Structure 1
Amino acid sequence: MRVIAGECKGRPLKSVPGKTTRPTTDKVKETLFNMIGPFFEGGRGLDLYGGSGGLGIEALSRGLKTMIFVDKFPPAIQTIKKNLSLCQLSERAEVYRNDAERALNLLGKRQERFDLIFLDPPYAAGRLEKDVEKILSFGLLNAMGYLVIEHPKTIDFPEHLSSEIKLWKYHTAHEQTALSIYLRK
């Protein structure tokens, strides 16, 4: 696992120890950023199931200004912090140990808004629909912002999440994984 492009291009990233975290492969990450970028001119991001921090760090390396990482597992939090430090990106990131639902409630109360939200929960968690509902109810996605959902191919998401948020691109990454990318108009 490594940073693919931008200011930290080529830097290796640590993985979360154990088998509880499923990192996004470099190939899927490269496909994803070619679809939504490949580079950014500022903006704020949220990596809701941070894991090793690979997606959020890639976005920061490609020009996103700040990123909030959330994960509930202490080894994941430690790995995110190590990877941010290795890439010298710690000052542009906030890292919180919390579960997704509580984190979304707090971000909603703080009236946070994001240009890019990564939603990549463990496939067995069954959280995707609930997390999307919270993101929508709190209005966490800015106009022209992307909501990137990495999910099992067996889950179908609607064409429209709301009157403003529409499926922009869909891609099957390999036999089990799909990317649904929504854009808020």
Structure 2
Amino acid sequence: MRIISGKYKAKKLKTLKTNDTRPTSDKVRGSIFSMLGEIDGAVLDLFGGTGSLSVEALSRGAESAMIIDGADDAVRLIRENTSFVEEELEIYRNDFRRALKAMAKRDKSFDLIFLDPPYRKKLVDQSLHKIKELKLLNPNGRIVVETSKDEKVNIEGFTCVKEHTYGTIKVQLLIEDKE
């Protein structure tokens, strides 16, 4: 796996040798960033895995990133995969619910949020609900959701502006509904 474009183009990233983490392929990651276009501001990667989505965003112009993952081995890998990053970067091992609450207490908000949790566990629904409730998405912010293609996601409070399927993977680009 490698960084596709930008400042860190061609940097190689490691992956875990377990089935617990499912890294976004170079092809899908490239498609996600084509969908997104210009990248800037603060990024949150709520289910960090390898950190590849955040590193790609930083490589393409994001100013800072926060990566959260609940697994010790994933956090170790993320630290290794981001050792060369020059931008502001925070990495935490935490349950996503507690992490979101902690961000709200710190008045954190984000311009781009990646949600790529384990499939079919309704974690996207829970995450979207908390992100909206805690006001963690900046105005004009975007959320990228990656799920299995047959997974139903409740996007109440958000609008899907783009959706693509790549084999067994579905990627949605969401914006928050204005109240």
Interval containing the TM-score (normalised by the shorter chain): over 0.9
- Shift in Å, 1:157: 3.6
Alpha-carbon distance between aligned partners in 2 of 1:16 and 1:77, rounded to the nearest angstrom: 11
Partner secondary structure for residue 148 of structure 1 = strand
Alpha-carbon distance between aligned partners in 2 of 1:173 and 1:52, rounded to the nearest angstrom: 20
Instruction: Indicate which of 63, 66, 71 corresponds to 1:65.
Output: 63
Q: Which runs of 4+ in 1 moved over 6 A?
A: none
Equivalent positions of 1:22-171 (< 5 A) are 22-37=22-37, 39-40=38-39, 42-85=40-83, 88-89=84-85, 91-157=87-153, 161-162=156-157, 165-171=158-164
Partner secondary structure for residue 24 of structure 1 = coil
Letter in 2 for 1:5: S
Partner secondary structure for residue 123 of structure 1 = coil
Letter in 1 for 2:88: R
TM-score normalized by the length of structure 1: 0.90
Residue correspondences, number: 177
Aligned-residue identity in percent = 40
Alpha-carbon distance between aligned partners in 1 of 2:105 and 2:9, rounded to the nearest angstrom: 36
Q: Kindly indicate whether the alpha-carbon contact (under 8 Å) linking 1:167 and 1:182 is maintained by their aligned counterparts in 2.
A: yes
Change (3 A) 1:73 1:44: same
- Shift in Å, 1:91: 4.7
Q: Which runs of 5+ in 2 are unaligned?
A: none
TM-score normalized by the length of structure 2: 0.93
Letter in 2 for 1:161: E
Alpha-carbon distance between aligned partners in 2 of 1:120 and 1:18, rounded to the nearest angstrom: 17
Letter in 1 for 2:136: L
**1:16 corresponding residue in structure 2:** 16
Change (3 A) 1:91 1:34: closer
- Shift in Å, 1:125: 3.2
Q: Which runs of 5+ in 1 are unaligned?
A: none
Instruction: Please give the per-residue CA displacement for 1:120-177, whole angstroms capped at 9, x wherever unaligned.
Output: 001143311111100110111111111110011112345x632xx3211011121x21
- Shift in Å, 1:90: 5.4
